[in-house]
Structures are given as C-alpha cells and as structure tokens.
Copies of this chain bind each other. A is one copy, B any other.
C-alpha cells in the first residue's frame, strides 16, 4: 500500500481522531480554560508518541506548554521544523453558531468546529501525512521536529523567550507552517509575506458613578460620547488611518508585485457577495488585495460602555472601552506604531474624560523571497495534489512568531495553508473543507518527499 492508498483507506478513522482533538475547548484568551489547554497539549503529545516520534513531551514556558516531538532517523537529510498551534479563539457570540463550537459536525462536506481550520485541522494533517509515510515506507524522507504552541491566539507572548532558551533543540533547515489559507477552492496558495500586529485597549472614564440622564444630562461629560469622539479621530470616512505618521514607514509595492496581484483570480463582486456586504470599504487608491496584503490597518475589534440590556436605561455611562488592533506591513515597527497611537490618543482626549491606553500583543510583519527552493517546491507539491498551478500571495493576517523564528533560526519559512477565505476563522461557524483536508495531506506528503532533492540542488 502506498501513502495515497493509506490516506484513502484510513480517512474515516482520521476524521474521528480530528473530532477528538476539536472537542477540547482550548481557548487561550480565557483563563477559565487552562485545564482544557493542558488536556489538548497532552492529547497531541500522546498522538505523536504513538506515531513513533521520540522525545514527545510538553515543554514548559512561562505560559502554556509547547508540544515537542521529533523523528531524526533520516541521517544526512534535511530537518523540517513544523510549527502550529493547538489553542483556539473565543467562541462568542455563541448564539450565532448553528451547531456548538466544540461539538464537531459535518455539513455539506465541511467540518464545523472552533479550530477546524485555525489551526487544529491543519496541524493534524501534518501528523497524519507523516504517519502515512512512516507506515507505508517504514521511515521518513526528512527529519522532523514539531513545535505546537498554545498561545498563538493571544499573541505568542512567551514563545520568543522559550525559543531563545531552546534554540539548539529547534535547529532545522526549513520551517513549515500550515496556518494560512488558499485564495479559493482549488486555488492552492503559497503565502510569502504576513502582516504584523499591534494591539491596544482604550479605557475612558468620566464621573465617579453612572449618572441619571435626566438629572445630569446636558451638563456633564458622557464616557461613551468621549470614546466615540476619540475613535472618530482615528479614520477619515474613506477609511484612511489618521494617526500621525502611521503610513510613514510603509514599504512601497513594486509595479511587478502589483502586477502579480492583478493577475490573481480575484473578483471584487464575488468577494463582496460571499461576505454579504452591500459595499467593500478601504483605503482609497489600492485594490482589495493590496489593502489586505501590503497596506496596514487599524480596526476596532470591540466596543462597550453603559447599558446593553433589553429596552432603555436612562444613564450617562461613566466608563467606555474599545479594543483595537493594527495590522502592520514592512517596514512598520510595532513599537513605533504603538507610540504613535498613544500620542494620538493623548492629543485627542475629549473634554472631561480620563483616557488610558494599554498595550496588548504585538508582532513584526514578515516577507520572505519566493525564489528559495523550499518555497518553489511547495508550489510543485500543491500542483501534484491539486492538478493546478499554485499562486504566490501575501497574507493579511499575522503569525508574529514567524518573525521570531526568522530572527532566531535564520531558516526559510514556508507557509502552506489549506483554509478557505469563507471558513470563518475567529468567527462563529468556523469550518474546514474535507476536500482540502484530503488533498492537503497529499500535498504535504509530496512536499516532504521532494525536500531532500530540492535542498540538495
């Protein structure tokens, strides 16, 4: 039996195992899920051990543990470091899920569950692809090290120092990550750049108590008004960010790169319709793909203050809050952007409001040259599995740890993602295409098998 036959005959079993992994509510943003985090990590460790990996262990960090395991039997061959994460995003608003987020369900050829595509499903594909190669061939074509972390969804705060302290353990020739997506169904994609991140929370307070809007209304500041006024200074109505110097360090996009984006199969109308939008909206002068890949953003991710219940409550709220993340592109620096944002907030503080701004996570943007053989091989592997030419793209999301790996390990980073744009990463009804689960494992097998020759060239 070859690995393709193995994957085919074991598919039902693989899906059942993936469902077990998806049932763990490993939400890293909520401290109440600590035990679930540890159970998820232990589940993966056990799986890797049973696969025949050695040194399968949970390595402690100052936060959630890293699942580590290695297979080093391919003497003289390259070593691939496979990175992924076993933590997931929060699930609220829960009422918008058709089926519960931690009860995986198949509908229309899709696996619905939190983490199905981001990133448990994709991590799991590496495990099963490698198992297929091991079982059918008795060994692997390359050496493998796994680094599966539990804090990606909260900014990987503790991983950089952990990697610095364990740099030797993680030494490798290629870093392979499946945590990004494809342009669309049957459009395999190699992502060679990612945006960075800078996150803050803004808190506004006014009076020492909520106040009655009849008795005090008209004469006192309102924390929600102050917040609205402040947030209103962050963009113009076209969507341009108004923070002073926000775009100063943004690298120009070459005409060649723009032309490549234009050649991709993207249609604004299709895109708009798929998202249920009456209009797209973004920085003037750039196409949708440019806005997503090479232009920075400032998004309000959440806002709250005052009364949220049924009906009316006639209060003047004393506090109001907003959560904000910026997506950064080369050569923006998170530290610089955070400082500019803090300055802006100070300069635009409304009358009678105390404003505080707190930094949350941040990460640098990253771009890697797509001429590297480890990256070119990825395109070939996709082509073999999908039967179509793969596209080279950049990604709008952030995997801050990519930049850290690059800095610490100096190895090429290959992003082979299998998620689709409408699979609700971070939103209710996250799902993952079974077709891509199937073809993705074959793609990974092709990639692992081709790597010794590609890197020997």
Contact = CB atoms under 8 A, between A and B. Distances in A.
Interface in A214-264: 214-222, 224-225, 227-229, 231-232, 235, 237, 239
Nearest to A230: B228
Contacts of A428: 209-210
Contact of A313 (B195, B301, B353, B421): B301
B218 A225 contact: no
A398 B66 CA distance: 59
**Copies of this protein in the complex:** 2
A314 interface: yes
A426 B313 contact: yes
A60 interface: no
Contact of A303 (B181, B304, B325, B421): B304
- Counting chain A residues whose Cβ lies within 8 A of the other chain, the interface size class is 35 or more
A315 interface: yes
Contacts of A231: 228, 232
Interface stretch (A103-111, A275-283, A442-450): A275-283
Contacts of A209: 96, 275-276, 424, 427-429
Chain A interface mostly: loop
A317 B301 contact: yes
A67 interface: no
Given A92-B307, A232-B229, A312-B325, A210 B299 contact: no
Nearest to A361: B312
Nearest to A314: B325
Contacts of A327: 213-214, 217-218
A323 interface: yes
Contacts of A278: 352-354
Nearest to A427: B210
Interface string A136-167: 00000000000000000011000000000000
8 tightest A-B CB contacts, nearest first: A214-B397, A208-B276, A302-B306, A302-B307, A232-B232, A210-B427, A279-B352, A218-B291
Given A212-B426, A232-B232, 6 more contacts: A210-B428, A216-B275, A278-B352, A278-B354, A302-B307, A313-B426
14 contacts: A29-B311, A154-B312, A211-B275, A213-B426, A214-B327, A228-B231, A237-B350, A281-B351, A303-B304, A308-B323, A313-B323, A313-B426, A314-B325, A314-B398
